[in-house]
Amino acid sequence: MSPIVTGLLGLIPGLILGWLFVKKRSQAEAEKTAQEHQQNIEQLEADQAERLEALREEIKSEQDTEEEALKGQIAEVKERASALAEEEKSLKAARQKLNSELGRVQSQTESMTRKEDQLQRQIESMEAREGELETELERVAGLTRDEALKQLEEELRDRAHERAAAELRRIQQQGQEELREASAALLAKAVFRYGGEVIQEITTTAVHLPSDDLKGRIIGREGRNIQSFEEATGVDVIIDDTPGIITLSSFSPLRRLIAHEAMTRLLRDGRIHPTRIEESVAKVRKAVDRSLRQKGEEAAAEVGVQGLDGAVLDLLGKLSIHQVNGQNQLHMALSAARLAERLAAELDLNPKPCRRAALLSLIGCAADHQMEGSTADITVALARRHGESKKVLAALEDLTTESGPRSTTGIVVQLATKLAASRPGVQSEQLAESIERLEALEQMALEEEGVRQAHVLQAGTEIRVLVDPAEVSEGKLMALAQRLVRKIEDRADRLGEVQVHVVRETRVTETAM
């Protein structure tokens, strides 16, 4: 047999066996699938049966719940009906009780009306009686009702003023003591802290520069310019980091004035070198001397003093740049001359020597660094050197003696100089202006109700007010003083502290026959 036939014969049994195996397997799978379908159907039927049973139970439960709710609602309706019946019974009882109360209230109202009428009649009777008593009281007391009320009101007001014034006085005294202690401490601290600054302000003068670049030109090469300026003027030139300012320091106000004018001219001219500095200082010194001489001549002419030596006029002019205790010495000398003239006229003395001596009483201040001795001694020496009269010299010598003046002129001059030095503001104002200011203080006091007289004392530092005791009571004095103080603070052109004294005096005069 050929190999092909042999292969085919061997393949046929295999195919038959494979077909049988596949067929058997397919039958087994079909049976298995049928069983699974049958199980699924049975499971589905069981599930549907369970669902139907659960639905049946749920419907039954809901029906039971609704029945219970209906039963509860029926019971609640029955209870409400019973409660309404009870309320209706109670309302009927309350209505009956209210009707009885209304009847009782009506009877009480009628009784109250009768009592009110009776009380009204009693009130009318009492008012009539009160009018009779008031008329009788006015007849006995001699005062009407309004007058009595006004008198009582005034007495109460006076008592209140007295108590308020006493309390205010106590508070003021306590406040003044505390203020005095605090001010003393503050003044001590201020003097300690700022004493150096005050000295610096008195002995220095500032020069403002257009640009800080000028500081280098003022110093010059190797400091030649500043050394030349200091030698020519006798002042110290202080150049520091302060922008736009240099400081001129010297104890002499004349030197500072010359240095300030010379530096101003040099800065304006722009040419700063030793030769130009010396020329500028020389020109400024001559110009300042002429200006001071002119001021001295104007001062002498202002008070009518003639025939003064040129050197004395120079010294008078130099007084205009001297400050002592914050007061310009030339103004102070002019004020002393005016006061001496007025005092001499009041005493029927010759005013010329008094006025002349008072004007020259301070010229020693302008030369005290050139001569030895006190200001008064230097003044006498200068007056004697420049040919003043014996009366003027005697008056000036009286200012140097500790035992007091020996001549009438000396008394007048000494009194005038003390007044000029002590009166606030006298150096800067004319006598007429001062008198007007004092009269204004008196007028302010006289404007107050009940003020009889007012006197200004101590050159305007004290005002004494006399009141009418019939119009101003004791309790109103403090209030009046406070009003005057506020008025002076608000309106017066005052200089320094002004004390207000209010005096109430009662005088009784009888005549013995």
What DSSP state is assigned to residue 244?
T
Confidence of residue 145 (pLDDT cuts 50, 70, 90): low
Confidence of residue 434 (pLDDT cuts 50, 70, 90): low
**Structural domain includes residue 359:** yes
Same-domain status, 338 and 372: yes
Nearest to 427 by CA among 325, 286, 284, 305: 325
Of 410, 428, 446, the residue that ends a domain is: 428
Distance between CA atoms of 266 and 281, rounded to whole angstroms?
Answer: 9
**Structural domain includes residue 388:** yes
Mean pLDDT value of segment 476-493: 80
Same-domain status, 106 and 43: yes
Nearest to 334 by CA among 403, 428, 241: 428
Of 139, 158, 174, the residue that ends a domain is: 139
pLDDT, residue 342, reads: 86
Instruction: Tell me how many domains the chain contains.
Output: 4
Amino acid at the residue 453 = Q
pLDDT, residue 371, reads: 66
Quick one: tokens of 274?
């030793």
What is the helix (H) or strand (E) element at residue 452, kind and residue range?
Answer: strand 451-457
Same-domain status, 341 and 412: yes
pLDDT, residue 427, reads: 43
Model confidence over 39-48: pLDDT tens digits? 888 888 888 8
Any idea which residue has 């292969």 for tokens? 7
Q: What percent of the chain has pLDDT over 90?
A: 0
Mean pLDDT value of segment 496-502: 81
**Cβ contact 308:325 at 8 Å:** no
Model confidence over 287-301: pLDDT tens digits? 988 988 898 888 888
Same-domain status, 403 and 381: yes
Least confident of 260-269, 387-396, 433-442: 433-442
Distance between CA atoms of 202 and 207, rounded to whole angstroms?
Answer: 15
Whether the per-residue pLDDT at 69 is higher than 80: the answer is yes
Same-domain status, 277 and 221: yes
**Structural domain includes residue 174:** no
**Structural domain includes residue 450:** yes
Whether the per-residue pLDDT at 461 is higher than 80: the answer is no
Residues listed for the chain: 513
**Structural domain includes residue 157:** no
Confidence of residue 496 (pLDDT cuts 50, 70, 90): low
Same-domain status, 343 and 423: yes
pLDDT, residue 193, reads: 42
Same-domain status, 39 and 128: yes
Residue numbers of the domain that contains 91? 34-139
Whether the per-residue pLDDT at 142 is higher than 70: the answer is no
Model confidence over 71-100: pLDDT tens digits? 888 888 888 888 888 888 888 888 888 888
Give the number of other CB atoms < 10 A from CB of residue 121: 10
Distance between CA atoms of 425 and 440, rounded to whole angstroms?
Answer: 16
Confidence of residue 403 (pLDDT cuts 50, 70, 90): low
pLDDT, residue 325, reads: 64
Mean pLDDT value of segment 357-370: 76
**Cβ contact 277:225 at 8 Å:** yes
Confidence of residue 493 (pLDDT cuts 50, 70, 90): low
**Cα end-to-end span (Å), the chain:** 206
Nearest to 134 by CA among 226, 126, 391: 126
Same-domain status, 423 and 460: no
Mean pLDDT value of segment 2-18: 71
DSSP 35-90: HHHHHHHHHHHHHHHHHHHHHHHHHHHHHHHHHHHHHHHHHHHHHHHHHHHHHHHH
Same-domain status, 99 and 125: yes
Higher pLDDT, 423 or 204: 204
pLDDT, residue 1, reads: 55
For the chain, percent helix, then strand, then coil, each to nearest 5? 75, 5, 20
**Structural domain includes residue 200:** no
**Structural domain includes residue 3:** no
What DSSP state is assigned to residue 502?
E
Pairing of strands 204-208, 323-324: unpaired
Give the number of other CB atoms < 10 A from CB of residue 383: 24
pLDDT, residue 426, reads: 44
CATH number at residue 255: 3.30.1370.10
Same-domain status, 418 and 461: no
Same-domain status, 273 and 331: no
Give the number of other CB atoms < 10 A from CB of residue 79: 10
Nearest to 358 by CA among 294, 407, 418: 418
Of 124, 139, 154, the residue that ends a domain is: 139
Q: What percent of the chain has pLDDT over 70?
A: 84
CATH number at residue 456: 3.30.300.20
Task: Write b or e for each residue in 247-259: b if 16 or more Cβ atoms lie within 10 A of its Cβ, otherwise e.
Answer: bbebebbbbbbbb
Beta-bridged to residue 65, according to DSSP, are none
Whether the per-residue pLDDT at 195 is higher than 50: the answer is no
CATH number at residue 409: 1.10.3210.10
Distance between CA atoms of 241 and 250, rounded to whole angstroms?
Answer: 20
Distance between CA atoms of 190 and 432, rounded to whole angstroms?
Answer: 37
Distance between CA atoms of 276 and 237, rounded to whole angstroms?
Answer: 17
**Cβ contact 487:465 at 8 Å:** no
pTM score, two decimals? 0.45
pLDDT, residue 64, reads: 84
Same-domain status, 408 and 438: no
Among positive and negative, which fits the CA dihedral 310, 311, 312, 317? positive
pLDDT, residue 424, reads: 52
**Structural domain includes residue 414:** yes
Distances (CA, A) of 261 to 196, 248, 255, 334: 26, 11, 10, 27
Model confidence over 146-186: pLDDT tens digits? 776 777 787 777 777 777 777 777 787 787 777 777 666 65
